[in-house]
Structure 1
Amino acid sequence: MLTPVLAALLPLLLLFRISFCQYSSDQCSWKGSGLTHEGHTRDVEQVYLRCSQGSLEWLYPTGAIIVNLRPNMVSPAAARLSICIKPSSDSRGTNIYLDRNGQLRLLLREDEQAQGKVQCFSIREGALFIEAVPHMDISRRITAFQYELVSELSAPCQPCTDAEMLLAVCTSDFVARGTIKKVEQGEEHSTVEVEISRLYRQKTQVFVSGGVRVRRWTGHTKMPPHCGVRSGDGEFLFMGTIRFGEAWMGCAPRYKDFLRLYHEAQQQGTNPCQVDTD
């Protein structure tokens, strides 16, 4: 039989236990603990995230979670989005799969996550299925990553079609006119140093201004190493996505070729958006 004091404290103790075990989530980020699965290691939790960027942190993972990453929008453009995830350097304790109608495809093994390599996939490929790897000691196991939704462009290194080029001007995270100054080849990516004479748009500040009197911007973009991009003469229209603060090149036609195509589409009334070409 409970004493009057314990009887009075019991509702508070139960509230504390529920609050302690409950997952913390908003529309953009999620944080939870596998300790809520204790004794129910086959439990699978559903997580819904609806922002363009955010994070996930799963402490002491047991069982599995299904992470549904969906933009809070309904439009044809939503189907052309890609999802990029970047694991933290201390992420471990799980294997990460893509789950499309119950068919699993391995995306990241536990031992690969600490490398922090960005992985991207189409939003049409399904949800993330994150499954805990059994360990005797889960106290040091935390799975954590950042995610971003980005616009799909043409396949890396492949020339954009006319339609893709015109659409990229409207949907890219950055659009800029300029020249290639230098290219540094690396094992995982090439770094392209560019000088910008006209900056149309940038989602975040990846290109830096030379000052009020010098109307030039400089910055770096990245490309897969097998693209074989080289420095050279001529102006280009650089377009692409920004992933975790880094610019990745998509379409990069010569500016004169884009200008011809743009004016032709303008005369036909088929341009998806307007660009100031003066």
Structure 2
Amino acid sequence: MKDSRGANIYLEKLGELKLLVREQEPSRVYCFGIEEGSLFIEATPQSDISRKITAFQYELLSQRSSADLRSMAAPCQPCSDSEVLLAVCTSDFAARGTIRGVEHEKDQDASLIAVSLSRLYQQKSRVFASVGGRARRWVGHVRTLLECGVKPGEGEFLFTGSIRFGEAWLGCAPRYKDFLRLYSEARQLGTNPCQVDTD
């Protein structure tokens, strides 16, 4: 859930309300499961009598990949070999590229990673913009939790992850050379879950 305006939003369970989003709070993503309760929306008092509209964005997820489950349970841990191979096939985005910079947003509990991509394998939404003519490149940003302590790193990475509320969130991100070795071994054994053009 993100971008609540004009109301306070609570989780209601067994007659008790737990404040989830206060109207004055900055734009932020909140995640919760169905077992935590139902949404309860309370309009905030207004000083004028004009008609007000309450709006918020939400996303319902019914199935999660193993990489998504891993990122929820241990968001800063490296992915296993099988998770990396599955992530390149099933993630909302998968790309080869470098880190241009990292900005830590303490108020959002997130880090914003500026990336430059030399290869875009897939993206479900246009979160990465094409720049350049002959040598196609893409640029954009990928978010991750602040607690992961991401720092700018040298070399190329395979970036995979999910798109939430129009923003790319990091899933698995091994060094590209490590992914190539892993993918090559899986191809030889016939255990790769999909074909990836690594040329």
Which interval holds the TM-score relative to the shorter structure? 0.7 to 0.9
From the superposition, tell whether residues 211 and 116 of structure 1 become closer, same or farther in structure 2 (CA, over 3 Å): same
**1: CA distance between counterparts of 2:173 and 2:134?**
27
**Counterpart in the other structure of 2:167:** 246
Cα 1:230–1:132, aligned 2, differ >3 Å: closer, same or farther? closer
1:31-180 aligned at under 5 Å gives the runs 85-88=1-4, 90-92=5-7, 94-97=8-11, 106=18, 108-109=20-21, 111=22, 114-122=25-33, 125=35, 128-130=38-40, 132=42, 143-149=54-60, 151=64, 153=68, 154-155=70-71, 156-180=75-99
Aligned to 1:38: none
Q: Distance in 2 between matches of 1:250 and 1:86?
A: 20
Distance 1:270 1:95 in 2: 46
| Aligned pair partner of 1:215 in 136, 139, 154 | 136
Change (3 A) 1:148 1:95: closer
Q: CA RMSD in A?
A: 3.0
Residues paired across the two proteins, number? 187
The answer to whether the 8 Å contact 1:190/1:222 transfers is: yes
- Deviation, 1:223, is 1.4
Matched, 1:276 2:183: no
Contact 1:87–1:114 under 8 Å retained in 2: no
* Counterpart code for 2:187: Q
Alpha-carbon deviations, 1:40-65, whole Å to 9, x = none?
Answer: xxxxxxxxxxxxxxxxxxxxxxxxxx
CA positional deviation for 1:196: 0.5
Q: Which has the higher contact order (CA 8 A, sep 6+)?
A: 2
User: Offset of 1:98 from its aligned partner?
Assistant: 6.6
Matching of residue 202 in structure 1 with residue 97 in structure 2: no
Shift of 1:231: 1.4
Q: How far off its partner does 1:91 sit? A: 3.2
Which consecutive unaligned segments of at least 5 residues does structure 2 have?
Answer: none
Amino acid at match of 2:100: K
Matched residues in 2 for 1:173 and 1:132: separation? 34
SS in 2 for 1:130: strand
When residues 134 and 196 of structure 1 are mapped into structure 2, their CA distance, relative to the original with a 3 A threshold, is closer
Runs (4+) of structure 1 exceeding 6 A deviation are none
> CA–CA distance in 2 between the matches of 1:197 and 1:134?
47
Q: Identity over aligned residues, as a percent?
A: 55
The CA distance in 1 between the partners of 2:96 and 2:146, in whole Å, is 23
**How far apart are 1:234 and its partner, in Å?**
1.2
Q: Is the CA contact 1:174–1:200 (under 8 Å) kept in the aligned structure 2?
A: yes
Distance, in Å, in 2 between the alignment partners of 1:269 and 1:128 is 45
Partner SS, residue 59 of structure 2? strand
Distance, in Å, in 1 between the alignment partners of 2:91 and 2:16 is: 30
| Matched-pair contact (CA < 8 Å) for 2:6–2:43 | no
The answer on whether the counterparts of 2:103 and 2:111 sit within 8 Å (CA) in structure 1 is: yes
Aligned equivalents of 2:26, 2:142: Cα separation in 1: 21
Deviation string for 1:57-113 (max 9, x for gaps)? xxxxxxxxxxxxxxxxxxxxxxxxxxxx1133x231x542175xx69783614x257
Q: 1:228 to 1:247 in 2, by over 3 A?
A: same
In 1, the alpha carbon distance for the partners of 2:184 and 2:177 equals 11
Q: CA deviation at 1:116?
A: 2.7
What CA deviation, in whole Å up to 9, does each residue of 1:197-226 have, x standing for no partner? 111011111111123223211111111112
Larger radius of gyration: 1
